A and B are shown apart, each in its own frame.
Chain A
């Protein structure tokens, strides 16, 4: 039905376009001097109909579900929902919905069948009234647009104003998204801290996200101290940087200064491939190849290594970050003015000396900015650690041990569980909040360093 509403809208809008175009043309042919080209009169009609009705349909779609749910629940025989908690009400509702969808389990009560029939009726009414509403509103707008066609009417200005408005809306979506992220995280995090004290979360040394299954269950309280989780994230990040920084920097330096042009032309795109590989692929690479290799290396040396050691996830993450750091280093070195190179070489420095004593120090702010962005990536990286790191939070900084990370916990807490009323799922949002804040601070800081440094030489 929604697609019917959309097609109706577009049919009406296109009809409006043609109608206005024809009208404007005939006025023009009658010899009048038009303010706007005929096409703008047509566009005016089209946009005037499409924009508001599109908003109408979207709002309708969003509100339809909850409103119908409420009407169905309100229409239940009085007394059925007395003393029933919110979860059970949802259960009843979904049972009614599956009845309405024609899937019957067991023998439902009569009032449920009745409610299901009412639900079907309401949905049908809603669908018809949407189509009717679209027809009336869009038709009215098209008619209104047609009435305004005239030699004096500034259709182009109107169209441009509407288009400007649409573009401003597009640009502000970025702000809405940020607000949406901040708002939803804060909202759920606040609900989490209603159940778990802030001090326990921030300073607690235990992370056992469990919830009691029964009211009186003992020893299943769960502990929500994020320190061990964060520590695990740091361990894996450090391992990743241990690989990514030296390899990335050295290859950036080599590509920038020493590589023959032909090699550079081949090597840069190949490094880009490493950057374009999806992280889920790196995750599988970690469990398929790297972790067994590390384990057998450990066995050969007589070291006991956990199956999902932080070393595997961290080193694969390091490989992922190599192109990131190398391209930042390359860019930063290229941004150093030619005069500094020429000066150093003119004084008799070798190219290596010029690199280590002049170019590299001059490029350090840009490189640090790049490394910080890489750190924020490593902290926020999800799939590699979900697949290759552990699930148990431990207070350890031993990279041979198995550790867990913030992102692993977010994913494992939320997979397959959607009820937002227990500390377990809400804890994921609290972790998400911390992740968002930490990466945001690092990003803002890094972007500022990079930008400031660029301006210094321009």
Chain B
């Protein structure tokens, strides 16, 4: 036998590769799977976030109302005594008309609690506006108070033992009677947009916050837009490359990353402390937000200016324009869509910014909308913060609703930015 003993056969390299191929493919699939899982996790979280807000928030877009025939009793509300009068008693009496058998004062008080605290003031405003209503019977639709609103929306479990429930069995029976009479309706909650803040959830609205935010954004825009564009044009088109412009660049990049609460500290110490500006004023809020938005606008403007091809500049210079004329007559108009897109995105960020506004006191409890930027006001995000902090159950859904309003504004602003970019952006 001259055969060479059959030792372990050496694998050819193709076979080595083939042997490992399954494992390597599994690795690839695993990495892909992990990546997919990661992205799905992020999407799931976004969906949970939006879903939980919509689930709790959509209920605040309607408000339970009760329709009553109110006899404006001249004995309770004498014309001479306006604007004072027993408006609450008149409203309660109108309610007692519908529920027979409520006699004792304690029962009447409990029955009256079905009505929102604002109901008496609605009656008062209506009668003060038209005193001839005294002595007549008028039909009024007023909001019910928070516990009954929750009851109507099914947020109070009727099965809970009475001791642990906010509305008692008797009160539920009254409410069901009113339901059966068709007095209870649940229309769109206009108060959410028409009213300013209130301690009572059923009366609280976002008007003050919306107007406060609008003022603050206007001030922010008026300050940060010119400053940002001026700074960006200088740095991009005119600044000599030296230490000073390097320093400014580093500064702008760092400012963009400074925590927002630090800007609040700056505003508190400098604007309120040293300059003695008004606390809680949207003007100061806008000023603070402008400082934070400016770096965003500068960075966006510089990118937009850079995207304008040099041939434009050279052509303009070639026909005798000065450098300023080149920039302001040709480069800047061409860069405008990019600048506006960056500005809108910056303003959208500013709209959602909360921490600096808290420090300058825009989280005060203010029950009227500001008429100038120097009046005390809240802003949309700080109003969300206030409501999130409120103990009343009704504010939970209202907070979610306010967040949905805020997110709607942000989506609209970002959509506008994307539209501008797609519509006017030029490819060179």
Contacts and interface: CB of A to CB of B under 8 A. Distances in A.
Contacts of A153: none
B254 A247 contact: no
Interface stretch (A7-15, A26-34, A392-400, A406-414): A406-414
A173 B294 contact: yes
B261 A380 contact: yes
Nearest to B279: A418
B302 to A, nearest CB: 11
Contacts of A172: 248
Contacts of A185: 262, 265-266, 269
B265 A184 contact: yes
Contact of B24 (A173, A174, A281, A350): A350
A234 interface: no
B95 interface: no
A38 B326 CA distance: 18
B239 A171 contact: yes
A444 B238 contact: no
A284 B399 contact: yes
Interface stretch (B29-37, B66-74, B84-92, B204-212): B29-37
B254 A444 contact: yes
Nearest to B36: A254
Interface in B261-282: 261-266, 268-270, 272-276, 279
B427 interface: no
Interface string B241-254: 00001011011111
Interface stretch (B1-9, B147-155, B226-234): B226-234
B1 to A, nearest CB: 41
Give the interface centre of A350, A352, A416 by most chain B CB atoms within 10 Å. A352
Given A180-B270, A181-B258, A439-B257, A173 B227 contact: yes
A358 B168 CA distance: 69
B35 A281 contact: no
A171 to B, nearest CB: 4
A193 to B, nearest CB: 16
Nearest to B229: A170
A167 interface: yes
A283 interface: yes
Contacts of A345: none
A250 B38 contact: yes
Interface in A36-83: 62, 65-66
B42 A323 contact: yes
A274 B46 contact: yes
B336 interface: no
A428 B265 contact: yes
Contacts of B396: 288
B234 A443 contact: no
A84 interface: no
Interface string A405-448: 00100110011101010000000110010011001100110010
A456 to B, nearest CB: 19
Contact of B322 (A66, A156, A174, A276): A156
A440 B253 CA distance: 11
B231 A177 contact: no
Contact of B384 (A281, A353, A386, A432): A281
B385 A414 contact: no
Contacts of A283: 385, 388
Count class of interface residues, chain A: 35 or more
Interface stretch (B133-141, B158-166, B194-202, B348-356): B348-356
A300 interface: no
B259 A407 contact: yes
Interface stretch (A106-114, A129-137, A158-166, A215-223): A158-166
A380 B254 contact: no
A391 B408 CA distance: 32
A189 to B, nearest CB: 10
Q: Which has the most chain A C-beta neighbours within 10 Å: B24, B28, B35, B45?
A: B35
Contact of B42 (A271, A379, A416, A443): A271
Contact of B352 (A164, A175, A279, A380): A279
B403 interface: yes
Contacts of A429: 265, 269
Interface string B311-355: 000000000001010000000000000000000000011011111
Contacts of A255: 35, 39
Given A319-B42, A383-B381, A443-B257, 8 more contacts: A174-B231, A177-B266, A178-B251, A181-B258, A270-B43, A288-B52, A436-B259, A440-B254
15 contacts: A159-B324, A170-B230, A171-B234, A174-B248, A250-B39, A254-B32, A278-B351, A279-B354, A284-B53, A284-B388, A288-B400, A386-B358, A415-B358, A432-B262, A443-B257
Interface of A: 62, 65-66, 156, 159-160, 163-164, 166-175, 177-178, 180-181, 184-185, 187-188, 246-251, 253-255, 258-259, 267, 270-271, 273-274, 276-285, 287-289, 319, 322-323, 326, 348, 350-353, 355-356, 373, 376-377, 379-383, 386-387, 407, 410-411, 414-416, 418, 420, 428-429, 432, 435-436, 439-440, 443-444, 447
Interface of B: 17, 24-25, 27-28, 30-32, 34-39, 41-43, 45-46, 48-49, 52-53, 56, 226-231, 233-235, 238-239, 245, 247-248, 250-255, 257-266, 268-270, 272-276, 279, 291, 294-295, 298, 322, 324, 348-349, 351-355, 358-359, 361, 363, 381, 384-385, 388-389, 396, 399-400, 403, 406-407, 410, 414
Give the 6 A-B CB pairs with smallest separation, nearest first: A380-B259, A254-B35, A278-B352, A170-B230, A250-B38, A352-B28
